A and B are shown apart, each in its own frame.
Chain A
Amino acid sequence: MSKLTFAQKALAHASGRDSVQEGEVVFVDPDVCLSHDNSAAIASNFSAIGVDRVRYPSRIFIALDHCVPAANEKYAANHRRVRDFVRNQRIEAFFDVERGVCHQVLAEEGFAVPGGIVVGSDSHTCTAGAFGAFAVGIGRTEAAAVWASGRIWMRVPATIRIELSGEFPPGVCAKDLALKIIGDIGADGALYRSVEFAGDGVSNLSMSDRMLLCNMAAEMGAKNAVFAPDEETERWLAQCSPRYDRVDLRADEDATCERTLHYELTGLVPGLACPHTVDNYATASQKAGTVVHQALIGTCTNGRIEDLRVAAEVLRGRKVAYGTRLLVFPASNRVAKQMYDEGLHEVFLEAGAVLMNPGCGPCLGAHEGALAPGEACISTANRNFRGRMGCKESFIYLASPATVAASSVAGSIADPRPDGGVL
């Protein structure tokens, strides 16, 4: 029998088959379907289908995060429609405005499980691949159809394998790696593909790092991204209560991959995605001195406790530069609690940062820190498209928490490494 990739194994298992071929269309019943503020729009599509009840209430996960708390009447009415729907359909896994970013909450609540089929009406649903799940983003109408039928079609993707070795040098992290990979292969470098991270270097990556890399795979065009379960996965799963049965699937060692890339972590440097595409790569030192008016730490990409610790370490005893504003958004209220327990909030407040509530914040330009024409923002988010933060005449640079924190102190883009010489 031929050797199988993770994607082939996951989709074969989910469709009750021994094996599946690349390009084949299979039907699967997802273990969970994620959505957020867009659940009201999905509910409208669901009504149009014409069934009264959702097929599997326990497989629906909804977290309000995109514009929380509501910025105005329209957003408030949208949230109310979601709450009404959740109550009427008896959906238990509903998380209101206080809880946090859907991808983070999905993991914390035990919905990201090895071998699970996770679909979500959000392009960064692939984040859950960090736990060994087959996790893919879908559209709103598709989500409505999953609510109604419990089923969706998937085309089996080809696989790109990314082999990692070594460990990150000081001041460099998984975000720098993600930006480098995307810079190398382009925003469509993994279009329709399953991305499998592998190699000795994986054991040096925390779950936070893995979530980031799977999250950013969306910016390579990937269908999904995955890490095979290991000790780090077990450590995380022990902290949450998995909501469905796990099945440990890993790619065969010599499975056929369309392409294999190698990255040596030790040689990486702090990187940036420059305006207005995520594959417009530069090193932080190449752009050092570029003035930034706003700095943002948080979002589904970099709002975890590990990210806040790194940022606090850079900011400890320092001040945000005059003319620059620093916004900090923990990814969930659990992360926020941990931040307070560790006293990191004092570091942020003393540095002059604005400490915000868990949620997506201004990442999609809806509220809580939109930009003015001509302004530049350095952000830990995952997208820097023109107009993304509410103004098409502004400029967004993407970077790691360390680079964003160092840049907020300098008032301009700065290399955060100890020998960067900027601080």
Chain B
Amino acid sequence: MKINGRCFKYGDDINTDVIFPGKYTYTVSEPSEMAQHAMEDLDPSFSERVSEGDIVVAGSNFGCGSSREQAVICLREAGIRAVVARSFSRIYYRNCINSGLVPIQSEAADVIQDGETIEIDLENGVLLCDKGEFTFPPFAGEVARILSCGGLIPYTRKLLGIENR
């Protein structure tokens, strides 16, 4: 699978409170409404500018802070297909896999410019941007199986043998 998209570039330590503010965690439950608040405290015009297929690019420790899954769902629902970062917070990374938002850890994050269009080849682990080609380890093992099932819920249904029920 290949992902082609325009990049929104941010810095280091982008935390889940600025991706999806804590004050909405129990008052906003519709994914489409979550998308309207995506990046609200960091980049207030994000939700108006973002479109289907776009990519978020960030520095180190992307998604640090709270374990709230809305910080993944709001980006996915806003149309974001992948996040490319120097590194991810551990829970955010797992949440991405479990919710079907592709997390790519790559030093390409340092050189990709805001607004640039990049291509990510998931099978072969290749990221193509203006500054050249970068490789990353393709998803393997359980992580690959969860992604290929379309997330943790379908994966668990398969695990429990209830996929056709």
B153 near A145: Cβ-Cβ < 8 Å: yes
| Chain B binder among A84-92, A136-144, A248-256, A298-306 | A136-144
B156 near A385: Cβ-Cβ < 8 Å: no
In the complex, A223→B95 CA distance in Å?
14
A191 near B89: Cβ-Cβ < 8 Å: yes
B159 at the interface (CB under 8 A from A): yes
Q: Which residues of chain A (164-223) have a CB below 8 Å from chain B? A: 187-188, 191-192, 221, 223
B91 near A137: Cβ-Cβ < 8 Å: yes
* Distance in Å: Cβ of B145 to nearest Cβ of chain A: 10
Task: Determine chain A's interface SS by DSSP, over half rule.
Answer: loop
A282 at the interface (CB under 8 A from B): no
In the complex, A50→B94 CA distance in Å?
22
Contacts of A247 in B (CB 8 A): none
Given contacts A141-B152, A366-B26, A386-B41, contact A123 B91 (CB under 8 A): yes
B160 near A149: Cβ-Cβ < 8 Å: yes
Q: When the two chains form the complex, which single residue of A142, A145, A386 contacts B18, counting CB atoms closer than 8 Å? A: A386
In the complex, A387→B20 CA distance in Å?
10
B18 near A144: Cβ-Cβ < 8 Å: no
Given contacts A192-B90, A388-B17, contact A149 B26 (CB under 8 A): no
Given contacts A138-B67, A142-B152, A144-B153, contact A385 B98 (CB under 8 A): no
Q: When the two chains form the complex, which single residue of B13, B143, B159 contacts A187, counting CB atoms closer than 8 Å? A: B13
In the complex, A69→B15 CA distance in Å?
27
A388 near B22: Cβ-Cβ < 8 Å: yes
A9 at the interface (CB under 8 A from B): no
| Chain A binder among B57-65, B109-117, B119-127, B128-136 | B57-65
Given contacts A123-B66, A365-B22, A366-B23, contact A51 B162 (CB under 8 A): yes
| Chain B binder among A41-49, A331-339, A401-409 | A41-49
B94 near A139: Cβ-Cβ < 8 Å: yes
Contacts of A66 in B (CB 8 A): 25-26
* Distance in Å: Cβ of B41 to nearest Cβ of chain A: 4
* Distance in Å: Cβ of A142 to nearest Cβ of chain B: 6
A364 at the interface (CB under 8 A from B): yes
Contacts of A19 in B (CB 8 A): none
Identity of the chain B residue whose Cβ is nearest the Cβ of A50 in the assembled complex:
B162
Q: Which residues of chain A (45-82) have a CB below 8 Å from chain B? A: 45, 48-51, 66-67, 74-75, 78
* Distance in Å: Cβ of B146 to nearest Cβ of chain A: 9
Instruction: Give the interface residue-count category, chain A.
Output: 35 or more
B61 near A221: Cβ-Cβ < 8 Å: yes
Q: When the two chains form the complex, which single residue of B15, B67, B151 contacts A121, counting CB atoms closer than 8 Å? A: B67
In the complex, A66→B24 CA distance in Å?
12
Q: Which residues of chain B (36-64) have a CB below 8 Å from chain A? A: 41, 60-61, 64
Contacts of B155 in A (CB 8 A): 145
Contacts of A144 in B (CB 8 A): 153, 156
In the complex, A187→B13 CA distance in Å?
7
A138 near B153: Cβ-Cβ < 8 Å: no
Given contacts A74-B26, A138-B94, A364-B22, contact A385 B153 (CB under 8 A): no
A354 at the interface (CB under 8 A from B): no
B17 near A386: Cβ-Cβ < 8 Å: yes
Q: Which residues of chain A (2-42) have a CB below 8 Å from chain B? A: 25, 37-38, 41
Interface string of B62-82 (1 = CB under 8 A from A): 001111110010000000000
Most buried by A among B25, B27, B156: B156
Identity of the chain A residue whose Cβ is nearest the Cβ of B156 in the assembled complex:
A145
Given contacts A141-B153, A223-B90, contact A385 B18 (CB under 8 A): yes
In the complex, A399→B61 CA distance in Å?
23
A153 at the interface (CB under 8 A from B): yes
Given contacts A123-B67, A141-B95, contact A390 B23 (CB under 8 A): yes
Identity of the chain A residue whose Cβ is nearest the Cβ of B17 in the assembled complex:
A385
Additional 20 contacts, C-beta under 8 A, given A41-B29, A49-B156, A385-B18: A37-B26, A45-B153, A49-B153, A49-B157, A50-B157, A75-B26, A122-B67, A137-B67, A138-B94, A139-B95, A140-B68, A141-B99, A145-B156, A188-B61, A191-B90, A221-B64, A221-B89, A365-B23, A387-B18, A387-B21
Which B residues fall within an 8 A CB radius of A?
Answer: 12-13, 15, 17-18, 21-23, 25-27, 29, 41, 60-61, 64-69, 72, 87, 89-91, 94-95, 98-99, 141-143, 151-153, 155-157, 159-160, 162, 165
- Chosen A-B contacts, 5 in total, with CB atoms closer than 8 Å, are A45-B153, A50-B157, A221-B64, A387-B18, A392-B21
